[in-house]
Amino acid sequence: MSVTAAEGFEAAGVAAGLKSSGGPDVALVVNRGPQKTAAAVFTSNRAKANPIMWSQEAIRDGRAEAVVLNSGGANCFTGSFGFQTSHQTAEKAADLLGVGAIDVIVCSTGLIGTGDEVFRQKVLEGTTAAAGRLSADGGESAARAIMTTDTVPKQATRTRDGWTIGGMAKGAGMLAPGLATMLVVITTDAVLTPQQADQHLRSATRTTFDRLDSDGAMSTNDQVTLLASGASGIEPDAVAFRDALTDLCLDLATQLMADAEGASHEIHIRVTGAVTEQDAVTVGRSVARNNLFKTAIFGNDPNWGRVLAAIGTTNAQFDPYDTDVTINGVRVCTKGGPDRPREEVDLTPRRTTVDIDLRVGDEAATIMTNDLTHAYVHENSAYSS
Amino acid sequence: MSVTAAEGFEAAGVAAGLKSSGGPDVALVVNRGPQKTAAAVFTSNRAKANPIMWSQEAIRDGRAEAVVLNSGGANCFTGSFGFQTSHQTAEKAADLLGVGAIDVIVCSTGLIGTGDEVFRQKVLEGTTAAAGRLSADGGESAARAIMTTDTVPKQATRTRDGWTIGGMAKGAGMLAPGLATMLVVITTDAVLTPQQADQHLRSATRTTFDRLDSDGAMSTNDQVTLLASGASGIEPDAVAFRDALTDLCLDLATQLMADAEGASHEIHIRVTGAVTEQDAVTVGRSVARNNLFKTAIFGNDPNWGRVLAAIGTTNAQFDPYDTDVTINGVRVCTKGGPDRPREEVDLTPRRTTVDIDLRVGDEAATIMTNDLTHAYVHENSAYSS
């Protein structure tokens, strides 16, 4: 179970003909209350899709009744017609649910530039069909309806002292900082104010989804939405809720990384000894985005020189000749020079850890990324997005 | 002819056993004067190789007698032993030429971490051998000795009003801003002061090598060196010299792009209508580094949505809904929406132009890059650097 794990939520996923495969492509998640608290974070890409522009307005009052999501078309760079489509989608769902359109969030994913009249009709019909199939068991079908190149649906739940958090996510490429063609809906039956929901969500995404940098390419459509029904009647301990939400987001982010397009390694870049957390993030991201590092890992080559060269492009406080690099537990570089023989490093497992100790401070951060493979090139040269 | 095209220069390239192929791997370029003016620009990577650290000191007085270059080992992250190797290399050449070691520039390229006792001996022996074969016809052999994964030597000359500029370059990957595993030596018989040489070189590289961004991965060893012998006796017109030098640098940069590892397209990203030149550079670089854009071009897909998404990640002044994108002469996007059908774009030629009109100002810049291909992944996962 996922977005319907918490009390007070119903969901559905239906096939509306947006995907050429005929698979499910429109999902609806509805908050039955009693509370209708909501928060969302959006792509920081300045080229934002129409559903993002609609949803940014809709979330402003910290309240939402439902989320409509579609795959099979990003409705991005589709002009004012496209914005009207997002608006009409919200109105359609609102009519069906007997709520206000401004309380309906809209998310889209798929090919940029897709958003014509045919697209609009299918999304509206899909919304109607989904509204007719809402159920407290519908989480799985909703999770499947938002998949694009994903090979598996991504779901997670956490239950603590009388309250539950559930979530679903899609995304398998363009996973980049500030979120990435990644749609996430998280629900909880905990009692939260809009301010609490917003703070918890920003805190949790900052160290999870925001640290996932699969290929450095930021999407136009990313959105993570949190809906709180209050159905448990329990006001959670703030620290416990934040920890559980962060843990659930990390779970979903890890599932996204594991399903990234064409990847053969899931790479955790742990930067320690930084002066600031931001320095640690900057260093990790620079390594994660270095194509020479990424291809080396694909080739099972523990190429620490490329790691140091990537760090050298940043403005982080560090001395290349006082930096240590450990790959899969083998210290291959000590103080900017060779240490253990590279032959000792086993890079055959998918899970890869690169530990970078900058030795100048006490702050740390982990960036998650993938290697750069033939399959990535194939998938992204053949699939339009 | 190349680095020996201008009067006053001799060069040689020899095989010293650094390359496992047995090919030439040590080059020496000597300025016979009468002037010994020199200028150089270096990688902006903060993780600098030992030859860079040596050469930065050697160039400080605006004077150089010779440049020793080796392929087959970057002498980077090789500790104080590696720095001593660069120093000893300069001393060896200085002894052989009867000059001061501080007037000898040293450049290295190849695998990071290579720089042991065997490496040192081979470089020193190669320097001796090269000094014994110096000739005014040695430019071609020097150009071949600095090749790594290059498939062809890169050379260019420009002759104007009584003076000549000649150059050689190597580099076929890790081509990134602030220069990239790219070694360039340029010679001229024009009469220049150190200040003039420095100003002309910085001006010329700023709009040529600095705008080559093959794969976003900046090297630890990049260096462009200009030597001026004054042998023509002519003080060139400043504008004419700068134009000719810039033209020669663009020629060499274009040769580097054409030989980039595994590329199937040479992409010129021309950004116009920017408020500042820096904005135009930022936008061009962001597109050039976007792996989804690069794989799309490999797949002959004129995916303008990925272009706009890449621009959206920058802080440049622009409105995604007032931006035009033209690919190989076909306006596929007008004001952030679809224009001509993508089927009209022919992406089969290697040369590709992407014109981006931001429509907010009058500044422009062109960034040169390559597509991301299977061959790139193969070469960089199999070849350690």
Q: Residue B174 has what pLDDT? A: 42
Rounded to the nearest 5°, which phi and psi values hold at A117? -60, -40
As a whole number, the mean pLDDT across chain A is 91
Nearest residue to A310 via CA among B200, B176, B370, B209: B176
Q: Of A143-147, A331-335, B106-110, B375-379, which range is least confident?
A: B375-379
Q: In which band, very low, low, confident or very high, does the pLDDT at A61 lie, cut at 50, 70 and 90?
A: very high
Which candidate in B4, B43, B89, B181 is catalytic?
B181
- As for the ipTM of the complex, it is 0.75
Q: Is there a contact between A295 and B377 if contact means CB atoms under 8 Å apart?
A: yes
Summary mean pLDDT of chain B: 91
| Predicted local confidence at residue B211, as pLDDT | 82
Q: What is the pLDDT of residues B254-299, one digit of tens each?
A: 888 888 767 899 999 999 999 999 999 999 999 998 888 988 999 9
Label the pairing between strands B66-70 and B104-108.
parallel
Amino acid present at B4: T
Which residues in chain B have Cβ-Cβ distances shorter than 8 Å to A321? 79
Q: Are B16 and B126 in contact (CB under 8 A)?
A: yes
- Measure A382 CA to nearest chain B CA, in Å: 6
Within a 10 A sphere around the Cβ of B118, how many other Cβ atoms? Answer: 12
pLDDT of residue B62: 95
Closest CA relative to residue B85, chosen from B50, B131, B126: B50
CB contact under 8 A, B306 and A112: yes
DSSP A275: S
B216 has pLDDT over 70: no
Write the DSSP string, B106-162.
Answer: EEEBSSTT--SHHHHHHHHHHHHHHHTT-BTTTHHHHHHHT-SS-SS-EEEEEE-SS
Nearest CA in chain A to B379: A295
Question: Could you tell me the pLDDT band of residue B87, with boundaries at 50, 70 and 90?
Answer: very high
Tens of pLDDT, residues B298-322: 999 998 988 998 999 899 999 988 9
CA distances in angstroms from B125 to A37, B16, B89, B134, B330, listed in the order given = 75, 7, 9, 15, 56
Burial class of residue B22 in the structure, from the number of CB atoms within 10 Å of its CB (0-12 exposed, 13-18 middle, 19+ buried): exposed
Spatial strand order of the sheet with A351-357 comes to: A337-338, A330-334, A324-327, A351-357, A266-274, A363-370
- pLDDT number for residue A148: 84
DSSP assignments along B247-302, one per residue: HHHHHHHHHHHHT-TT-S-EEEEEEEEESSHHHHHHHHHHHHT-HHHHHHHHTT--
> Of B213 and B21, which is predicted with more confidence?
B21
- Lowest-confidence segment of B58-62, B83-87, B342-346, B370-374 by average pLDDT: B370-374
Pairing relationship of beta strands A183-188 and A223-228 according to DSSP bridges: parallel
* Per-residue burial over A224-243, b = 16 or more CB atoms within 10 Å of its CB, e = otherwise: bbbbbbbbbeeebeeeebbb
Q: Residue A337: closest CA among chain B residues belongs to which residue?
A: B77
B91 is in an annotated binding site: no
pLDDT at A385 over 50: no
B181 noted as active-site residue: yes
Contact A380 B299 (CB under 8 A): yes
| Residue pLDDT, tens place only, A100-138 | 999 999 999 988 878 899 999 999 999 999 999 999 999
Please report the pLDDT score of residue B219 as a whole number. 75
User: Exposed, middle or buried, A254 (CB in 10 Å: 0-12/13-18/19+)?
Assistant: middle
C-alpha span between B190 and B170 (Å, rounded): 24
pLDDT of residue B148: 84
Given a cut of 70, whether residue B226 has pLDDT beyond it is: yes
Among the listed residues B111, B183, B146, the one whose alpha carbon sits nearest the alpha carbon of residue B382 = B111
pLDDT at A174 exceeding the cut of 60 = no
Residue-wise pLDDT tens digits, A308-333: 989 998 999 999 889 999 999 999 99
User: Confidence class of residue A168 from pLDDT cuts 50, 70 and 90?
Assistant: very high
Instruction: State pTM to two decimals.
Output: 0.80
Q: Is B181 annotated as a binding residue?
A: yes
| Residue B202 binned pLDDT confidence (cut-offs 50, 70, 90) | very high
- Using CA atoms, how far apart are residues B30 and B9, in angstroms rounded to an integer? 6
Per-residue pLDDT at A219 exceeds 80: no
- Provide the pLDDT confidence category of residue A178 given band limits of 50, 70 and 90: very low
Is a pLDDT exceeding 90 seen at residue A175? Answer: no
Share of chain B above pLDDT 70, in %: 95
Residue A3 confidence (pLDDT) above 90 = yes
Q: Which residues contact B380 (CB under 8 A, 6 or more apart)?
A: A291, A292, A295, A296, A299, B173, B261, B262
Active site residues of A: 181
Which of the 8 DSSP states describes residue A266? E
In whole angstroms, what is the distance from residue B369 CA to residue B364 CA?
17
3-state secondary structure of B341: coil
The answer to whether the annotation marks B10 as part of a ligand binding site is no
